[in-house]
Each structure stands twice: as C-alpha cells, then as structure tokens.
Amino acid sequence: MDEILDILEKDGRATVEDIAKMTHKKPEEVKKAIKKYEKEGAILKYKAVINKDLIKDTESEVRALIEVNIVPQKDLGFEKIAERIYSFPEVTSCYLISGTYDLLVVVEGKNLHTVSNFVAEKLSCLENVRGTATHFLLKKYKEDGVILKHKSEENKRIAISY
C-alpha cells in the first residue's frame, strides 16, 4: 500500500505537512495524492476510535457479531443477500468469510432486546438465511490497532480460600 495511505490509516488527523515530512515529498504532491484517493474511493472516510467505556453519561450500546449461513442465489452468489443484510440500519459491518458460516455481520442496538429482535424479526426470516449464531461483545481490549484503557475498577471478586 502507498505510504501516504499507511500514514492516514494509522492517524487520520495527520496533516499534509506532516505526511510530506514523513514521506520526503512536497506538500502539494501529498495533497494531490490524497484528493485522488478520495475521488477514486480508496479513502472512504476519516474516523476516530472512541473508547466509549471512558465517556460518562452516554448510553451504552450493545454490539453483536452474528455469523450467518446463507444459500447463495443462482447467478448472483452472495452479493444480493449480503446487500439486503447490510442495508439494515442496525448493521455496522458485513463481511464474506470462510469457514462454517458465510457472512459475519456486526450489529449495534440500544440493548440485548433490540439486537435479539433484529435477529429474530429481520435477519433470520430472510429467504436465503439458513441459520445464525449470535455472539454479544462483552468487553473491548483493542480496536483498530489501538489498545483501549479501562476505568480502574476494584477487584470485586470474592476471594476463595480452601
């Protein structure tokens, strides 16, 4: 991958001047390359990795990883059913994967009930869906290459003695 893209992938806030210094290129050349990548769709958006555990007064959302087994459509393969699934607003990511299941779908909802309703009422009842396995995300340790710090919690476990 291009070194400009490498830098932006690691730090979307890197300035044109910073990138120019790191790559030994002229700022105009870096700016032109970035515009080209944006126009071609290689750069889709810039985002921040947010550690929601450290933000006070925010509603915690539930995230689930759902493995989906589907029947590919004749002459269309997995594309149309994947498109149908990733079009739901609850779906934040959708991947074609190898293994027992065909798709890995990442879903977010306000609580366990909303996610389970999505699976039961929207996902599982689709014509080409043969089965699902839902895994609820309990705690994040690392996301997009960034290690997440957690609120310091006292060890609330009861000591066991024999």
DSSP state of 110: S
Helix H segments across 11-151?
16-23, 27-40, 79-86, 112-117
In the chain, domain spans: 3-40, 54-139
Which CATH architecture best describes the domain 54-139? Answer: 2-Layer Sandwich (3.30)
Q: What is the pLDDT of residue 152?
A: 64
Sort strands 91-96 and 146-147 into parallel, antiparallel or unpaired. unpaired
Residue 18: half-sphere exposure toward Cβ, Cα within 13 Å: 7
Q: pLDDT tens string for the chain (162 positions)?
A: 799 999 999 999 999 999 999 999 999 999 999 999 999 999 999 988 888 777 766 566 899 999 999 999 888 889 999 999 999 999 999 999 999 999 999 999 999 999 999 999 999 999 999 999 999 999 889 988 889 887 765 556 677 777
Residue type for position 147 = I
Residue type for position 31 = K
DSSP state of 77: B
pLDDT, tens digit, 9 for 90 and up, residues 128-147:
999 999 999 998 899 888 89
CB 81 within 8 A of CB 57: no
Q: What is the pLDDT of residue 74?
A: 85
